[in-house]
Amino acid sequence: MSRRRCRPAIMVAGLLVLALSGSLSTSVSAAETAVAGAPATRAVPLTELTVATERVATGLRRPIAITGLPDGRMLIAEKNGTVRAYHPDTGLAADPVLDLTERIDTSDNERGLLGITPAPNFARTQMLYVAYTSLPAGALTLARVPLNAPEQVQVLLTQEHAEFGNHNGGQVAFGRDGYLYWSTGDGGNANDPFKAGQDLGTLLGKIVRIDVNRACGTKLYCVPSSNPFVRTPGARPEIWLYGLRNPWRFSVDPVDNSLWIGDVGQGLVEEVNHVRPWQGGGNLGWSCKEGTPVFDAEQCREGVRYIDPVFEYEHYLTENCSVTGGVVYRGSRTPEAWGTYIASDYCSTLAFAVRPKRGGGYETATIGSFPTQPTAFGTDVHGELYVLSDLPGWLNRVRFERVQPAPGGEVANR
């Protein structure tokens, strides 16, 4: 899914619009179960960890989003609009538990059903929140729907996106604050053609935050009064963060409610951003900047403060092509890895580990590889990791293993 720019087709044909990036989040209640407290065992240096994977399901059709349920199941969104259920005891169910294909525009490699997350009270309501590109013209759509009841879809929010098929974003996740977060791309093609990243008058190139527990006027949601642009003339009040290119995958750390965002680059670098709850209204730079380098000086404004990535890696003339944002490990099987953010790249499949340091800054390392074409990461009710593989249609369980660091092991700090 060539997901980013108009560049030579060196990627595997069908590269899911990963010019996105990503990871799916579990429900708040499930996440809280997994992080009741920090483990007694202290985290080890990242150079002493490596990832290992086990293929636990096959036969999925372009799986691109995954989320955990309180009952132990994992829900897997397939690009065409179906949702499949997996349980470690019974495997992958043959029939979809939800079918939204009649609503979804899949006309481009990056269009389709893009995100899914359960409501915090899912055990009682069976309510899911989904993001997709809708028929007839690919509008970015945020909706909710009861599991097994596709006819009861309620559309909450839309953003026109007809000109180009790529850069749709599509992650949905609940924060510990109870609000729903949704990511959108900058409108597609390349070079930020609509200059959307820095434009507060559009939802393109943003992360949105809304309150779906209430309705306000004719809207099925309310805008939290603490959203940063509620009183800014001409700005969309739903905006939480701006200056994004294609945040295909982000996740919420259930411990501190911070956002970890994988934002797909134009072709020079891929980046991961870590945004704390008090940084609402933050500007992540696009298209003034691509990562830390300046991309379009005309989009830069004097005196504006940008949130720089905490991790970036080279895209140009490498095997890398599109960051797949991941999740922070909060499980219990490997306490040595607790608090480590894990992400990858759709083409190189490298396993990137990032962890905040107590004294400030971040420790980063490459700690192995994932199976081919990783599209999304998710966690189960216990906080254990899974990763999807796009065109092979695989679900893989992820675990950590301790290793002895090699002399001069690959690690970097910023």
HSE on the CB side for 298, CA within 13 Å?
3
Give the type of residue at 212: V
Full-model pTM: 0.91
Domain that holds residue 87: 28-413
Return the number of other C-beta atoms located less than 10 Å from residue 73's C-beta.
20
Going from the C-alpha of 70 to that of each of 29, 82, 91, 94, 381, the distances in angstroms are 7, 20, 17, 21, 6
Domain assignment present for residue 80? The answer is: yes
Residue 264 tokens, joined: 């797909």
Domain assignment present for residue 20? The answer is: no
Domain assignment present for residue 12? The answer is: no
> In this predicted structure, what is the pLDDT of residue 37?
59
Residue with structure tokens 């960051």? 323
Give the type of residue at 57: A
Arithmetic mean of pLDDT, 347-370: 97
Assign 175 to helix, strand or coil. Answer: coil
CA 313 to chain centre: 18
Going from the C-alpha of 19 to that of each of 181, 323, 405, the distances in angstroms are 19, 7, 32
> In this predicted structure, what is the pLDDT of residue 407?
67
Arithmetic mean of pLDDT, 105-132: 97
380 burial level (CB within 10 Å; 0-12, 13-18, 19+): buried
Cβ atoms 44, 346 nearer than 8 A: no
User: Across-strand partners of 112?
Assistant: none
Which tens digit of pLDDT belongs to each residue from 262-292? 999 999 999 999 999 999 999 999 999 999 9
Give the number of domains in the chain: 1
- What's the CA gap between 383 and 386, in Å, rounded? 10
Domain assignment present for residue 5? The answer is: no
11 pLDDT band, cuts 50/70/90, is very low
Domain assignment present for residue 387? The answer is: yes
Which tens digit of pLDDT belongs to each residue from 386-413? 999 999 999 999 999 999 876 655 544 4
Domain assignment present for residue 9? The answer is: no
Which tens digit of pLDDT belongs to each residue from 140-163? 999 999 998 999 999 999 999 999
Domain assignment present for residue 123? The answer is: yes
> In this predicted structure, what is the pLDDT of residue 81?
98
- Quick check: 33 pLDDT over 50? no
Residue 61 tokens, joined: 């059709």
> In this predicted structure, what is the pLDDT of residue 1?
45
Assign 382 to helix, strand or coil. Answer: coil
Taking Cα atoms as reference points, which of 302, 306, 281 lies closest to residue 292?
A: 306
Taking Cα atoms as reference points, which of 218, 228, 316 lies closest to residue 266?
A: 316
356 burial level (CB within 10 Å; 0-12, 13-18, 19+): middle
Where does 69-147 show beta strands of DSSP type E? 74-78, 82-87, 91-92, 98-99, 113-118, 127-134, 139-146
Arithmetic mean of pLDDT, 199-209: 98
Residue with the bigger pLDDT between 407 and 39: it is 39
Give 328-370 as a DSSP string: E---SS-GGGTT-EEEEETTT-EEEEEEE-TTSSEEEEEEEE-
244 pLDDT band, cuts 50/70/90, is very high
> In this predicted structure, what is the pLDDT of residue 408?
58
Where does 29-126 show beta strands of DSSP type E? 49-57, 63-68, 74-78, 82-87, 91-92, 98-99, 113-118
Arithmetic mean of pLDDT, 79-103: 97
Average pLDDT across the chain, whole number: 91
> Which CATH number fits the domain that encloses residue 321?
2.120.10.30
Q: What percent of the chain has pLDDT over 90?
A: 86
Q: What percent of the chain has pLDDT over 70?
A: 88
